[in-house]
Amino acid sequence: MKIATKDKILISTLKLIDEKPFPQVSTKEIAELTGISEGAIFRHYKTKEILLQKLCEEFLNLTTTLDLTNLESEEEFKVKLVHFFQFLQKTENQIYKLMLYVAMYRKEQFKVFNDIFNVNVYKKIETVVKQGTHNWGYNKKINIKLHVRLLMYSIYFFTIQQQVFGADKIEKFNMNDVINTAVDNFLHGIKT
């Protein structure tokens, strides 16, 4: 299957982001790695900022695919959460580096991402937990929002520490074990 030039540009940019921060990546480097002229980049993406925006949109499309509809059991809820986080683990380190850059230096853009994530991921989990207070014995007095954020952030930051900051070179963890433990702890925490 032939990859479109627009997509090749995105892939090349992500590869370069793995080597250095986005602001230091030049369009000349992107063009060389893609095998096109620098001007060809601007035929597809008018500015480097638009290229960044497209990368961020792709990240959001990739990371907000959580489907929690029609759950019939707590076990099914657990399985879907584990599969969602395992899917995210398969994304490239460059995606996490890109999001760290946006979080640190593009506060307004990060706020938009957080709002989208809130609707497409956090709220879905919160809704299931609220329903679980009736169906699966979850504690009605817990702070659901806090528990969901702790689950999400623990896995994200563990991933960033291991895969982006290189902590896996010092102390490597099996990420499937990390995900299963985090989800188990989450489910246990919302019952007590």
Q: What is the mean pLDDT of residues 15-34?
A: 90
Per the CB < 8 A criterion, the answer to whether 125 and 149 are in contact is no
Measured CA to CA, the distance from residue 87 to residue 111 in angstroms comes to 24
Is the pLDDT confidence value at 94 over 80? no
DSSP state of 48: H
Task: Report residue 74's pLDDT band, with 50, 70 and 90 as the boundaries.
Answer: very high
- Between residues 88 and 148, which one has the greater pLDDT? 148
CATH code for position 25: 1.10.10.60
Per the CB < 8 A criterion, the answer to whether 164 and 158 are in contact is no
Per the CB < 8 A criterion, the answer to whether 161 and 173 are in contact is no
Instruction: Supply the pTM of this predicted model.
Output: 0.82
Is the pLDDT confidence value at 192 over 80? no
CATH code for position 164: 1.10.357
Phi/psi class of residue 49: alpha, beta or left (left: φ > 0; alpha: ψ in -120 to 50)?
alpha
Share of the chain above pLDDT 90, in %: 59
Query: Which residue range is the domain that position 27 belongs to?
Result: 5-46
Q: Are residues 143 and 184 in the same domain?
A: yes
Is the pLDDT confidence value at 35 over 90? yes
Q: Report residue 165: phi and psi, to 5°.
A: -85, -5
Average pLDDT along the chain = 90
pLDDT at 92: 66
Measured CA to CA, the distance from residue 177 to residue 192 in angstroms comes to 23
pLDDT at 1: 63
DSSP state of 47: S
DSSP state of 9: H
- Between residues 129 and 17, which one has the greater pLDDT? 129
Helices (H), 35-143: 38-44, 48-63, 74-89, 93-105, 107-117, 123-135
Q: What is the mean pLDDT of residues 12-31?
A: 90
Q: Are residues 97 and 9 in the same domain?
A: no
Q: What is the mean pLDDT of residues 32-41?
A: 94
Look at the chain and report how many structural domains it folds into: 2
